[in-house]
Structure 1
């Protein structure tokens, strides 16, 4: 199915590989693709320790031992790359169901499919949680390294009709993924107040949060300069007839820009700037964003 901008809606996402680069070291013990705090026999050189501290004679470094003032045998120690756990938290509040030049919920489904496949290809565990005012039990997959039906999950997500409001579900999701630090991909249009943004990011602060902002240009930039519009608030369901004029459109654009600016400020304070997607996903740019550690 093709929308009026030529973008596919509901189609299968491309076979893209998204590289996850972390600015922190995992404390996981399972071997994987990320730098960790664990010592091991592979990976990058970490340091020298005495043979008594690391009794592995295969790793004795004769040159380092000869330089030791205490004449102790020195052993090379290496980092052990490890796997991580990642979760996609998907906002499914009413505003995510608005369809203009694109379908934000379909974009979220494409992201979930590609990110899950990319994580599992390198041995990471991946889970998915859809939230509005609560966590959707039927759209909740605990993190696993095995293929866990993300294609079916994405199909169910595309068929969902978002109609509720609130961020309580995102905050509750933070309790479900508590524990060792995780990579959390927060997918939302962030149609929420500054205080709600603060509450969500604060709840997720123990983790590495990657905010992905989904935008539909029809909601602001695509509005006419003049005309009558019958508008419905996707979050509350209220309907209203509005006379659009250039000054009103400019004010709406300014409000949208201010909201995005607040999101950037809050997200950056908690670690990473958001990645913006407007109408269609640029997979190469998204891959570069993740490869650069979200910077």
Structure 2
């Protein structure tokens, strides 16, 4: 609670900057003394040349991540739930969720090494089979795929832990009854396991929808370049460039606030739909 108060709630005071013209050299007092400019910076962002591009890239990258990583974690959990050799199960679990603890900087470095056109493993294989090296990180056609694949690799194991924990709460008698009725492993998973973890699935999906506008700032910042801005520039990288490199604090704060308000509306909407469908929501 102290962490959230100090690092999340107290900094909310800074959103006032979005409604004023403030220079980084004016000091904290400018937040109180400078005149209000209303929604000037929001309107500037909405009318900006970059608005639709960063919105489209943010939503597409986040949607692709959700579309591939969410079912992948569920599928891995279902497969691990069927493994009867405890030692093998633990080894697979450890290997699959270990990438979650690897720093984003390290993951980006690994991606650069593996995908490099100069000695990278993937391009070495392509050349070996007679192909031409591909500049994965500099080609707009491949960049989003690199982000999504690396995200699935990092998140699949960690996400499966939650679903495996939920599966332990399912009554074993249901499986015994299903086996007596002739149901195989697939039917048991479809008719017992999946319905049994549906409340957890819904909650995780709602939280994931709330995070649709968080497309992975650190990884994008470390991997992208002007050559792929067209498909890689997201809201967070745009805020970074405007706020920290161009020192447009008020404008960058307005863009960040707009993103957070939109994320709140998404999570409220997802929770409302879940409730209407008689599913478990987050409140």
Same fold (TM over 0.5): no
Return the TM-score normalized by structure 2: 0.23
Return the TM-score normalized by structure 1: 0.22
Taking CA–CA contacts closer than 8 Å with sequence separation of 6 or more, which of the two structures ends up with the larger relative contact order? 2
Higher strand share: 1
